[in-house]
Chain A
Amino acid sequence: MCGTCGCGQPDDHITIRKPGEENHHEHTHEFEHDHDHEHDDGKHKHSHHHKFKHTHSHDGHEHSHDHEHEHHEHDHEHSHSHEITIEQNIMHKNDMLAERNRGYFEAKNIFTLNLVSSPGSGKTSLLERTINDLKNEIKFYVIEGDQQTMNDANRISATGAPVVQINTGNGCHLDADMISKAVKKLDVTEKSVLVIENVGNLVCPSLFDLGESKRVVIISVTEGEDKPIKYPNMFMTSHLCIINKTDLLPYVDFNVGKTKEYALRVNHHLEFIELSVKTGEGMSKWYEWLKKNKAK
């Protein structure tokens, strides 16, 4: 059962809401209706049905329906097979929506970051501290991605920054469409910084452009130093790599130089900043990077 509204649907739908808000989410319903398709192959004319899945929204809610159709019986033999050339990028739809987001951000002078990492590397902690340290200079907005919980949005809300939580249910990444909806809800103002905390996962967020200005990958020193070669696409598509939790370096067997070497093999344009959100060591370099790139 859906834990959000008790509507009886499995808890796998996408919700977008602010802390304290309820019940705005996507439902999946079984829904039956018929439609016919006329078709003429020269010899005869007939109509028949297909199964198609559609998503459409009404009254601010989004619903997915499965349309079940019976295939009719033919009393004649025929075959009419055609090959159609398509040549379409599989990520085409997301890429187009991402470019729309990007155009909107550029026009409004909104500097947008997509934060990606494994769970627990310190994305939310970095954001909390950054907002608290810079909130007198920079207007921050935050979109939080998580499969189930509101925890991160509540943490960000405590800093005073406007935040929207996207719960992806079974989905393990954010996509450009979710961002465009969340941005509308956030009502982001001009000349601000929008930070998107992606779902904790180093695999599929790499494929989904959100329209961000820069992609920032975070790795902490408690993780394996071979992460960059285990998850090459994430490091290949990022602009900055933050190595977090440097306060723990004396206690762990993590070679910073080796990690950088691996990451540079995958992406020789990648920049690095080593820091500890906990002690504040290295944070000034991150703030410098943020202000420099925001100004570009």
Chain B
Amino acid sequence: MHELSIAQNIIEIVEEHAAKMKARHVTEIVLDIGAVSGVVPENLEFAWEVSAKNTVVEGALLKINFIEAKAVCLECKKEFELDDIYTMCPHCGSFQFEIIQGKELKVKSIKIE
């Protein structure tokens, strides 16, 4: 389960910022997770429970903004929402498209006290 190393990366980033700000507690962490980022939010939440123990983020609220995937078709140039990476353009049936949104894996913000 690679969400464990993702969770550890997040904690490292948060610890770094929390230490810089001399924070006593971290109460909230906001993430952007794209639909085609390769990270499954449910798995991440599970990994989070395990990884947060005995760290500065223990007990913090984890908020995940799930970002829908969007692509632009290389044939007809139209934009469309992507359910799966292996879908086709709903306008012209082409498989040739570039993903323009949905690969996000980001720590947006934290709340500290």
* A contact set with B: CB distance below 8 Å: 37-39, 48, 50-53, 66, 68, 79-94, 171-173, 175, 203-204, 206-207, 228-229, 232-233, 236, 262, 264-266, 268
Contacts and interface: CB of A to CB of B under 8 A. Distances in A.
Contacts, number: 117
A268 B112 contact: no
13 contacts: A51-B58, A52-B56, A53-B11, A53-B15, A81-B27, A173-B2, A173-B5, A204-B38, A207-B2, A228-B86, A262-B86, A264-B95, A266-B85
Given A90-B9, A233-B36, A85 B22 contact: no
Which bracket fits the contact residues of B?
35 or more
A90 B10 contact: yes
A86 B2 contact: no
Nearest to A264: B95
A9 to B, nearest CB: 18
A215 B15 CA distance: 32
B84 interface: yes
Interface in B1-52: 1-2, 5-6, 9-15, 17-19, 21-24, 27-28, 31, 36, 38-39
A81 B17 contact: no
Interface of B: 1-2, 5-6, 9-15, 17-19, 21-24, 27-28, 31, 36, 38-39, 54-56, 58, 84-88, 95-96, 105-113
B84 A37 contact: no
A203 B2 contact: yes
Contact of B86 (A38, A80, A91, A266): A266
Given A82-B113, A236-B85, A51 B6 contact: no
A80 B113 CA distance: 5
A84 B17 contact: yes
A264 B94 CA distance: 11
A82 B2 contact: no
A83 B88 CA distance: 41
